[in-house]
Structure formats: structure tokens, C-alpha cells
Amino acid sequence: MADYYEVLGVSREASDAEIKKAYRKMSRKYHPDIAGPEFEDKFKEVNSAYEVLSDPDKRRMYDAGVDPSDPNAQAGAAGFDMGGLFGQFFGSGFDSSSQGPIPRAQPGRDALAEVSIDLKTAVFGGMAHAQIHTFGLCQTCSGSGAEDGSQPVTCPECKGRGYVQKVARTLLGQMMTTAPCERCEGHGTIIEHPCPQCQGHGRVRVRRDVGVTIPAGIQDGSRLRLGSQGEVGEGGGAAGDLYIDVNIRPDKLYTRDGDDLHCWISVPMTWAVLGHTAGLETFDGPREVEVPAGCQPGETITVKGLGVTKMGSQERGDILVHVLVVIPDKLNERESELIERFADSHDSGEQELSQSSKPILGGGRKGLFSKLKDMFS
């Protein structure tokens, strides 16, 4: 019996939340659409472990030493077939045949894929495309699993019931138990002429391009759900859902903080002193921002309403422009003379600069040209 706790990487005392978190991590790691087809068996093992440990009754049965995933074990855990016992003694309708054979068409599992988008798509929304490798409906047999339109025939072993009865020895004596028929795998019918394309499964491995609608304002790492776009089930059963993890690529001009965008612009020293209009590339096209006279290094200019669209609304955040003042590292004689003259006039009577553990608004502004004078003298 497999150690389901070890499969999910949790302890036997793990809570339901811890088991769910571990399952999500492991299913993402080993999903065949991401890790590759060679991990399909491992992915099935992870799903089997979660199916048992997420169900309180099955988990108690498993902790007692019985694997609920094993049909024979479940029958043994029940002790004996109560329906069969009552049927033998009273001829009533308690016979286990009322459960019927297992349908061939089974619902498909969910699939997982990733898409990578740029920041502009996150701002406005748009379309992305995900390549998924999963099970799709067999077009040759339309999901029936049979060749050339032939029909399954009744299983001669279980006579179409899907299960067989067995005598088991217990402490109470011999008891009648039931188990799925091994010949027809519990379906009650056998496909004598399976479809050569899908080998009787009704589905085949396919690679599909799926269009994904990206909502405006989506966050990095968000997960989207596309109903019935996942894996087609055995026997052409209904497809599961497709989950898309969205990753936003870094942008060369902007960084994101919630619904706001941040960028940095470098301006000449003279623009910072005298003020100037600076060009700004935005996702809405070129814009202009006013650098105010006396702008300090690191000062922020806010451009309203050109940030990220807020989820579920038409409103948008802002662009926060951080100003970097570029000080020239070389001056000619004429430029040095002008700086010295300005410093003598502007910084006359300057006191010693203050020192503080916190930034002082406007601090250093008075002594800018004195610093330049000292630099080039």
C-alpha cells in the first residue's frame, strides 16, 4: 500500500489545509502538461493520495491500514456484503447488483498551463495563448472506443453486472463479498474490436492552442479558470476544466505597485533648476510632464489616471515619475566661471549644512552651486 502522506510530503498529523496546500504544490510540479508526459504516473499517484486524504472517511480507513482506492480492500473493509446477505435470507431488494456496472464515459481531470504576458496587457487586458498537451476526444471513434461503429458486447464473466461475488473467510465464518469484474474492469461490457487510434479509450493525446482572455488589472501569479477546456475523460467523457497561471514579464520602463506604475527619468541640472517640459513614454502613447523649477533629486511627479486599470472598473491608477538630476562631470572654462559666479551670488552667507537622521525637504538645495564650485575649483 502506497504511503499517501509521503507522496504529498506531509506528516500523518497534517491538517486539511496543509494537505490541500501540499496537493496543489505537487499537482503543479508533476502535471504532465508542465512537467512532461513521463510524469503522468506520478501525477496520478498525487491525485490518488489527495482523493483519500482529503476525505475524512477514507482517511480514517487508510489510517486503519486499508487503502480505499483498492476496490477489493473496500469490500474487505466492509466485512461482508449486507445486501447479498439480506437477499439470500429474505429475497429482498438489498442485493448489491442495484449499484450497476461502471459507466465507460468518465469525467476528465482538470488541466494546468501557464501564459506569460507583458505589463501593457496587464494594464488594459487582452488575449494570450497557451499551448497545452492533454487528452482530447478521439475523432476516429467519436469517443466510443469501438472500431467502425461496432458496439460493446456483454461480459461473459459477470453477465453485464460489472461485478462478481466471492466467498471470503472471516471470524464470523464464510461471507459473500463483491468486487469489480476483472475481465471487463467493472463496465459490464467488453469492446471486442477497439478503435486502433485510441485503443478503446475514446481519447487520444493532443496538443492544442487555447486562447485566454486576460482581464484588465490582473495581478502577477493569478490563476484563471476555463470551464470544460481541460482533459477529456475515458470513454469520451466530459472534459475537466483548464486552469491558467498568469505570469507578467518585467517591463523595461515601468515597475508596478498595485494599480500604480513607477518610472525614473534623468534630467539635466539646468532643467531641475529652471524647470522644463520632459517627454514621457506611456502605455497610452507619448505624454509630457512638467519638471518644476527647483526640482530636487528624487522628487516625484504624479501623472493621474495613466496607471493600471483597477479590476472590475474603468478607473486607473497613476504614474509616479521619479526625477534623477544629472550633474555634469566636466565643465569648460566658461561654464566653470558661470557656476562660480552663480555660487558666489546664490550661496553668499551660507551656513554650515544641517545633519539629520531623516530627509529634510529642500535640504541641500541652497548649497548646490557651492558644491559644484568646490568640485571644479
Annotated binding site for Zn(2+): 138, 141, 155, 158, 181, 184, 195, 198
Q: What angle do CA 201, 207, 213 make, to 5 degrees?
A: 120
Distances (CA, A) of 79 to 91, 168, 200, 281: 21, 9, 35, 74
Q: How far apart are CA 65 and CA 260, in angstroms?
A: 55
Residues forming the annotated binding site? 138, 141, 155, 158, 181, 184, 195, 198
Instruction: Enter the C-alpha cell of residue 221.
Output: 501569479
| All residues at 6 or more sequence positions from 85 whose CB lies less than 8 Å from its CB, including other chains | 94, 175, 176
Q: What angle do CA 174, 178, 183 make, to 5 degrees?
A: 125
C-alpha torsion sign, points 333, 338, 343, 344: positive
Three-state secondary structure readout of 46-65:
HHHHHHHHCCHHHHHHHHCC
Q: Closest Cα to residue 343, out of 288, 277, 291, 269?
A: 269
| Residue 18 β-bridge partners | none
The SS3 assignment for 109 reads coil
